[in-house]
Structure 1
Amino acid sequence: MARMTLSANGAACPDTVWQRYASVDQWASWAPQIKAVHCEGRRLSPGLSGTVESAGGVHAAFVVDAVDHDRRTWTWRVHLGRIRIRLHHEVRPQGRGTTTSLTMDGPQLVLVAYAPLARLALHRLVQP
């Protein structure tokens, strides 16, 4: 098991960035690797589960473990077959904008392969 942390800074305000996370219907607008999110709830909450459909048509199952709307943090687990990844997200004010971070725990090769897509998504997430 390996750990990797990525971060991005941008001009969007923290509340805007958090709402982009909190509404699963917005994920595809800033995360180019996501085509759609299939789940019953539309807002982040502990226990929310479903699948994330990739742009390539692959469906990965997920479960949200924790959400703290006040601190703007959330954690979820994603699995595709035998591959399991835990992702922890944080949104913080940074000057006049926002910094967001993603800490991933999982197989090192998977994290290294996913990092460029995740980095691009984080940069898009914090843009106005």
Structure 2
Amino acid sequence: MAELTLRAAGRARADLVWSRYTTYREWPRWSPQIVRVEAPGERVAAGARGTVRSLPGIAVAFRVESVDEERRRWVWRVRLGPVRLRLTHEVRALGDGAETSLRIEGPALAVAAYAPLARLALHRLLRP
């Protein structure tokens, strides 16, 4: 198993970044590989299960482990066939903008393959 933490900072306010992170319909707007999210409710919630539809026709199952609104932190597990990743997202206020981090845990090859897409998504997430 491998672990990688990515960080990015930008000019978007922390509350806006947190809302983008936790509202399913927002995900395709900042994450280029996501087409849509199929899940109960509109926002991430502990115990929620669903599917992320990605290009080209990939369906990734997920389960949200925890959400901490006060700390702006949430954790989920994703599964694509036999590959499983655990992802921890955090948002912090940083001056006039925000900083976000993403810790990816899973098989080394999967972590390495996902990192470039995740890095791009984080930078788009932080745009004002």
Matched with 1:76 is 76
Matched with 1:38 is 38
Tell me the TM-score normalized by structure 2: 0.98
| Counterpart mapping for 1:49-88 below 5 A | 49-88=49-88
Matched with 1:124 is 124
Tell me the TM-score normalized by structure 1: 0.98
Matched with 1:112 is 112
Matched with 1:27 is 27
State the superposition RMSD in angstroms. 0.6
* Separation of aligned partners in 2, 1:36 and 1:45: 17
* Separation of aligned partners in 2, 1:49 and 1:107: 22
Between 37-46 and 11-20, report the one with greater CA deviation: 37-46
Q: 4+ runs of 1 displaced by more than 2 Å?
A: none
**Shift in Å at residue 22 of structure 1?**
1.5
* Separation of aligned partners in 1, 2:81 and 2:22: 26
AA aligned to 2:15 is: D
**Shift in Å at residue 56 of structure 1?**
1.1
* Separation of aligned partners in 2, 1:108 and 1:36: 26
Matched, 1:98 2:98: yes
Aligned length: 128
* Separation of aligned partners in 1, 2:70 and 2:108: 31
**Shift in Å at residue 14 of structure 1?**
0.1
* Separation of aligned partners in 1, 2:17 and 2:41: 19
AA aligned to 2:33 is: Q
Matched with 1:3 is 3
Flag structure 1 segments of 5+ consecutive residues without an equivalent.
none
